[in-house]
Amino acid sequence: MTTTEQTTAPVAPRPATGIIPLPPAAARTATAAGALLTLASTFLAWTWTAEFPGDLTVNGYPGGLQVLTLTGALLTLLITLSAHGVRGLTWLTPGGKHSPVLLLALGTFATTWYAVIAIAVNLGGLANLEPGGWIAALASLATLVAALGLPADTPLEGDRTTPWKRFTHTFKAPTPEPAAPLPSWAEIVIIAIAFGLGLFVFTYGIDTEYAELFIGFMLLVCFGATALARTGLNHRLASYTAKHKNVTVTAAFVAAFTFPFTQTNDAYATIGTNILIFATVALGLNVVVGLAGLLDLGYVAFLGVGAYTAALVSGSPSSTIGIQLPFWAAVLAGAAASLIFGIVIGAPTLRLHGDYLAIVTLGFGEIFRLAVQNMDGVSGPNVTNGPNGIPNIPELEIFGFNLGESHTILGVELGKFSNYYLLMLVFTIIVVTVFRRSDQSRIGRAWVAIREDETAARAMGINAFRLKLLAFALGATLAGMAGTVQAHVTTTVTPTEFKFVEAVPPNSAFLLAAVILGGMGTVSGPLIGASLLYLIPAKLQFMSDYQLLLFGVALVLLMRFRPEGLIADRRKQLEFHSADQPGPGSPPKGDTSLSKAGV
């Protein structure tokens, strides 16, 4: 071989090895054995006293946090066997093989050790652990160590062989293998099963009775969801849902409709109702921010306009108008009032851009709150009763059906908040339909063009001001419509509910965070983001003093590791990750020509 040939000869790629120097077969066997031992430990007592919630003192019957460890260990075992090529389980890992095992092992370890630490802290020391608790802790640690010895799904080079880089590399999305064609009925069954599992997980999270169980649940869900996405199953499901869009939407709302029938405590239905209100308003904001790219920091004021309008015409004894309209008329009045306010505020301000528009909308939100606070007959006209608000809003009665009373439907007794949940679900369907139709229309494409580059959109003949005003008005209308239901759910409307930042959502800051957290420009993104931002504070009330601090930390971490949101469209994924994960036809790393072009 000549000198030239020697210098130009290709270098063999570095083998994909794990962090712990173990043969792949030994690492898989050790991981499976550790997961099996962790699973078995949940059938032993973890503590001797029932003072710790969940009753972890029973042998042979897992309870509380033990159920979460059992679930994590079972998933780890199944994915490990799938990666090992066990017949009948290989469909579980069409994309990543070993990185899902590592993530599940980490999630099981975090959940188990959190339980052990919580027992020690609550009961006063590690002496309160029974042998089952020690076995679970050591077995989950051994499983994680063994999983670190599994080879990476893609070659690791340079500093990516360090533990931290290995984990961050593990979190990246896979490219799954092509799926074998299935009959349409089989794909529809898979979609139905997926939404059924989603309903079960959501219901389990809402029904958690104590904070320790909810924290363990969130730990397992975070790592478990990421691991299952890393297997490539989400890509398979996405291909099926894209093919059967109408079936997917129907399955989603059937699952949502089923939720109140799974509840035995109306207090948990209260959380579901408030989540739907929060999510619907966030989806309306997504029209303004996600589609048109208008940064609105006073959006909660439109929710307040709808709520106050409905309260004034509801027949409340405290209403200064003293009239009572049917509910459908109150909804139209609230939506119309918000629409008018949206046009009045948007017409003079939407010629501004960026931070200037954000400051103006923030000012509008504060002006609205101060205005309704001073309309008390002393500082201003007597319209809203000032700081006292409008209490004693009567319960809704639709077609003789009083939503404030319990009713038996399909053999299940539904309380007040379950009734309002079903009503709010109807409004959510309306808002989702409006959003989808707008997004897929010519106007929606024009909004996206304005969001990406307003100058270029104007050059192509788009009337940017008119379309931005339309987005602003539509978003305000949707928020006002949701506000009419909120007024009857809370039975009281006060100015303090509509601040920019408040410990209890919805408020402008949390609404904007729900859109960004979930994924701008998508339907399911704001729904998921709003659910998380409402459910977590509702379940972890002992952290209320540090809620805003934790909220800020969560946003920083999200912007660092998932800037496109939990549910991102293809455009956002390319914008944030095309340089890290070049695919077929992607520019080489460092080439930003497509990014500059808005692709």
Tell me the average confidence (pLDDT) per consecutive run of 10 residues in the chain, 599 residues long.
Answer: 46 51 81 95 91 88 92 94 82 80 93 94 89 94 90 60 57 58 86 92 89 92 88 84 87 90 81 89 90 87 91 86 86 93 88 84 89 84 86 84 79 83 90 88 90 88 90 92 90 85 72 86 86 85 76 80 75 59 40 33
Which residue's entry shows tokens 């893609």?
154
pLDDT of residue 598: 34
pLDDT of residue 15: 46
pLDDT of residue 570: 66
The residue among 227, 29, 45 whose CA lies nearest residue 142 is: 29
Quote the pTM value. Answer: 0.82
Token pair, residue 289, equals 């921010």
Parse the chain into domains and list their residue ranges: 24-242, 267-502
Q: Is 182 left (phi over 0), alpha (psi -120 to 50) or beta?
A: beta
The residue among 448, 486, 450, 468 whose CA lies nearest residue 342 is: 468
pLDDT of residue 108: 95
CA 213/CA 203 separation, integer angstroms: 13
Asked if residue 218 lies in contact with residue 65, where contact means CB atoms within 8 angstroms, the answer is no
pLDDT of residue 90: 81
Burial of 263 (0-12, 13-18, 19+ CB in 10 A): buried
CA 563/CA 457 separation, integer angstroms: 25
CA 585/CA 593 separation, integer angstroms: 13
At residue 496, the 3 state secondary structure works out as helix
pLDDT of residue 43: 94
Q: How many CB atoms lie within 10 A of CB 253?
A: 16
CA atoms within 13 A on the CB side of 345: 30
The residue among 437, 434, 516, 515 whose CA lies nearest residue 481 is: 434
